[in-house]
Amino acid sequence: MTNTPLNVPAAANGTVAVPTQETPADTLLDVQDLTVGFGKVHAVEGVNLSIGQGKIYGLVGESGCGKSTLAYSLLGLVPPPGRVVSGAVRFRGQDLARMSYSELRRLRARHIAVVFQAAMSGFNPVITIGAQVDHLLEAHPDVYENRQEGRKYFEELLHLVRLRPEQVWRTYESRLSGGMKQRIAIAFALLLKPEVLVLDEPTTALDVLSQRLVIDIVRDLHDKLGTTVVFVTHDLAVVAELAERVAVMYAGRLVEAGTVEEIFFDERRHPYVKALISAMPSVVADPASLKSIPGQVPDLNALPPGCRFAPRCALAQAVCHEVEPELRVSAAGHAVSCHVVNGESGEGGGE
């Protein structure tokens, strides 16, 4: 199955949530065997993931692992020249690749909102923040009875992101600090009451106290509005703070997915995840226990055969250099792709 994400013609009837196949009731987004390619390079390869309602998901990995590409695929946003090579992303059962432009536009506004990493530069510098709120409300007139109601809700959202409306309403973007702009961007994303909020690196490049504020805000909006949150980060500390479920990517592959407890403490964990956790300096951890991971992330143009982590892995066996491991899911839903951890290395079994 080969799909181009943005221009498959479909009946533009303006409604999105028409299930085309059965999915468990609480699954909002379902990623099936998704491969996203940029030319011959696959930034995301064969990823399966399902996002259920009302949880906080963390998508973790180092730069170039495909975590942002995966996150943007959830909105049908694969930047050209990238394209979905195979697999699908479904929102409430409906394939994003089969949605019309106007359906996708509605999906992104009303159902899945995103705050980009460079959210601070997404404002119009020559009109006030208040005017930009009005523009958004005009573009989507069906969310609120009238504009006043929408504005009132935006004020509530500003309180949620710890800002006073009078600080923001008649202000131009250039008058706001980076941290304030980012929080206003979160309020904008929530204005049309989406079910899912995607945050790309929400705490990266912020100072420690600003990070704390963003962490508190995300917890709050999740508790008070019940929004499902998917956030992308390279920082395991932020995952430890926020996520209920975690997916770890390495060189385009999903290597482990589970609850935050499983990711940090389970016996059965991916060696990469273990190594990443013991490479994080912290004020509480014993400095003597810190170890860096030897070698470096492989070039996606020249991937090693077998497991992509094998060249850097202390546990690697012969099979790891030959056969790419599959993701094995425990009954509890904890998925790990590793020959050694899954007991597939001893007798060469598990194929």
Partner 1 sequence: MSLLSVDHVSHRYQAARDDRPVLSDVNLEIEPGQTLAVVGESGCGKTTLGRMITGLVQPSAGAVSFEDTDIWKLHGAGFRRYRRSVQLIHQDPYGALNPGLTLEEILSAGLRHHRIVPRREVHGEVHRLLSLAGLDTSRAFLQRYPHQLSGGQRQRLVIARAMALRPSLVVADEPVSMLDVSMRISILDLLKSLGESHGLAYLFISHDFGVVRYFAAGGRIIVMFFGVVVESGPVEEVIANPQHPYTFLLLDAIPEPNPRLARRERSEATRIAAERIEAHPAETGCVFANRCPFVRDRCRAEKPPLQAGGADGHLSACWYPELVPAVTTAAEAMAAAAAAAESAAATAVSQPAVNKATADKGVA
Cα 47 from Cα 331, distance rounded (Å): 19
Residue 178 tokens, joined: 């980076």
Residue choice 9, 22, 145, 208 for contact with partner 1 (CB under 8 A): 208
How many residues are listed for the chain in this entry? 351
Q: Under the criterion CB under 8 A, does residue 342 sit at the interface with partner 1?
A: yes
Cα 333 from Cα 343, distance rounded (Å): 18
Quote the least distance from Cβ 30 to partner 1, whole Å: 21
DSSP class of residue 308 equals: T
Q: Under the criterion CB under 8 A, does residue 274 sit at the interface with partner 1?
A: no
Binding region for partner 1 (CB under 8 A) out of 18-26, 47-55, 176-184, 190-198:
176-184
Q: Under the criterion CB under 8 A, does residue 212 sit at the interface with partner 1?
A: yes
Residue 115: strand, helix, or coil: strand
Contacts of 346 by beta carbon, 8 Å cutoff, 6+ apart:
none
Q: Under the criterion CB under 8 A, does residue 175 sit at the interface with partner 1?
A: no
Cα 122 from Cα 38, distance rounded (Å): 25
Residue choice 10, 264, 274, 311 for contact with partner 1 (CB under 8 A): 264
Residue 190 contacts residue 103 (beta carbons within 8 Å): no
Name the residue nearer to partner 1 (CB basis): 143 or 206: 206
Name the residue nearer to partner 1 (CB basis): 10 or 329: 329
Q: Which residue has the tokens 């159902």?
A: 111
Residue 325 tokens, joined: 């491991």
Residue 158 contacts residue 130 (beta carbons within 8 Å): no
Residue choice 21, 126, 145, 209 for contact with partner 1 (CB under 8 A): 209
Q: Which of 71, 191, 78 is nearest to 140 (CA)?
A: 191
Q: Under the criterion CB under 8 A, does residue 85 sit at the interface with partner 1?
A: no
Quote the least distance from Cβ 187 to partner 1, whole Å: 15
Q: Under the criterion CB under 8 A, does residue 289 sit at the interface with partner 1?
A: no
Q: Under the criterion CB under 8 A, does residue 302 sit at the interface with partner 1?
A: no
Residue 170: strand, helix, or coil: coil
Name the residue nearer to partner 1 (CB basis): 86 or 167: 167
Q: For the chain, what is the largest distance between any 2 Cα atoms, rounded to a whole number of angstroms?
A: 69
**Within 233-262, which residues bind partner 1 (CB under 8 A)?**
234-241, 260-261
Cα 212 from Cα 216, distance rounded (Å): 6
Residue choice 291, 318, 322, 348 for contact with partner 1 (CB under 8 A): 291
Q: Under the criterion CB under 8 A, does residue 118 sit at the interface with partner 1?
A: no
Q: Under the criterion CB under 8 A, does residue 331 sit at the interface with partner 1?
A: yes
Name the residue nearer to partner 1 (CB basis): 145 or 267: 267
Name the residue nearer to partner 1 (CB basis): 132 or 210: 210
Cα 292 from Cα 316, distance rounded (Å): 17
Angle made by CA atoms 199, 24, 220, in degrees to the nearest 5: 35
Q: Under the criterion CB under 8 A, does residue 328 sit at the interface with partner 1?
A: yes
Q: Under the criterion CB under 8 A, does residue 324 sit at the interface with partner 1?
A: no
Burial bucket for residue 20 (CB in 10 Å: 0-12, 13-18, 19+)? exposed
Q: Under the criterion CB under 8 A, does residue 170 sit at the interface with partner 1?
A: no
Quote the least distance from Cβ 183 to partner 1, whole Å: 10
Task: Please give the order of strands across the beta sheet that includes 41-52.
Answer: 41-52, 27-38, 83-91, 94-95
Q: How many residues interact with partner 1 (rule CB under 8 A)?
A: 56
Residue choice 4, 20, 121, 177 for contact with partner 1 (CB under 8 A): 177
Q: Under the criterion CB under 8 A, does residue 275 sit at the interface with partner 1?
A: yes
Q: Which of 86, 119, 112, 124 is nearest to 17 (CA)?
A: 112
Q: Under the criterion CB under 8 A, does residue 12 sit at the interface with partner 1?
A: no
Binding residues vs partner 1 (CB under 8 A): 62-63, 162, 167, 177, 179-180, 203, 207-213, 215-216, 234-241, 260-261, 264, 268, 275-277, 279-287, 290-294, 296-297, 328-332, 334, 342-343
